[in-house]
Amino acid sequence: MKIAIAEDSALLRVGLVELLGGRGHQVVAAAGNAEELFTALETAEPDVVILDNRMPPTHTSEGIRAALTLRATRPEIGVLLLSQYVETRYATQLFAGQPRGTGYLLKDRVADIRAFLDALERIREGETVLDPEVVRQLMGAGNTAGLGSLTPREHDVLELMAQGRTNAGICAELFLSAGAVEKHITSIFSKLDLAPAAGDHRRVLAVLQYLQAASPGVA
């Protein structure tokens, strides 16, 4: 896999380069800020870009705003936010706009290298990957009528859907049968008024309702 990195911490940036290179991946760019990244992307063609959130010059939300730009201009490139912080407003825009091939993980919670590398592969394949803590913060303000009618177990199922889990993954996490998971998902679709429709992916639409509830003013 070809990977580009934008991380202002030289220590972490070099560490990621060595980690990924040692696992057989090719790091095609390693930048210290978003401007350097976009310059590198004029010639580099990564499969996935790893972005820190708070980078120079303001150390606020440069990374996630760069991710929004990438989603709009280079949707074929997967994007992984690897940050210490959750920027709920921008994150909601990011996942509401184009969730495919997008991830958001918290640095302090990446404890398994194999899981991290698996997340990159899943993002390259077009999946959405979210740290459970990111999901909890984005969902924290969810209070619409449909969401409020979900049972605690349905909330659990939808949270795992937002993390990118398959039905089989949800079964394993919650110790439920495949039939029980399907029943919960069908109920979620019904309560969120997501009827079957050609061209709509109800699983993604359900997750987006949950994420957008954290920032109702975002289109």
Which residues does 33 contact at the CB level (< 8 Å), separation at least 6? 6, 8, 55, 56, 57, 62
Q: Give the per-residue pLDDT at 198.
A: 47
| Topology adopted by domain 140-219 | Arc Repressor Mutant, subunit A (1.10.10)
Q: Give the per-residue pLDDT at 35.
A: 93
Q: Both tokens of residue 142?
A: 């969810």
Q: Give the per-residue pLDDT at 159.
A: 82
Where are the chain's structural domains? 1-130, 140-219
Q: Give the per-residue pLDDT at 190.
A: 86
Q: Give the per-residue pLDDT at 142.
A: 45
pTM: 0.69
Residue 27 has a CB neighbour count (10 Å cut-off) of 20
| Topology adopted by domain 1-130 | Rossmann fold (3.40.50)
CA atoms of 103 and 136, how far apart (whole Å): 15
Q: Which residues of the chain fall below pLDDT 50?
A: 141-143, 198-200, 214-219
E-strand ranges in 70-159 read 78-83, 102-106, 128-130
Q: Give the per-residue pLDDT at 39.
A: 95
Which residues does 210 contact at the CB level (< 8 Å), separation at least 6? 138, 139, 142, 147, 158, 159, 162
Q: Give the per-residue pLDDT at 21.
A: 94
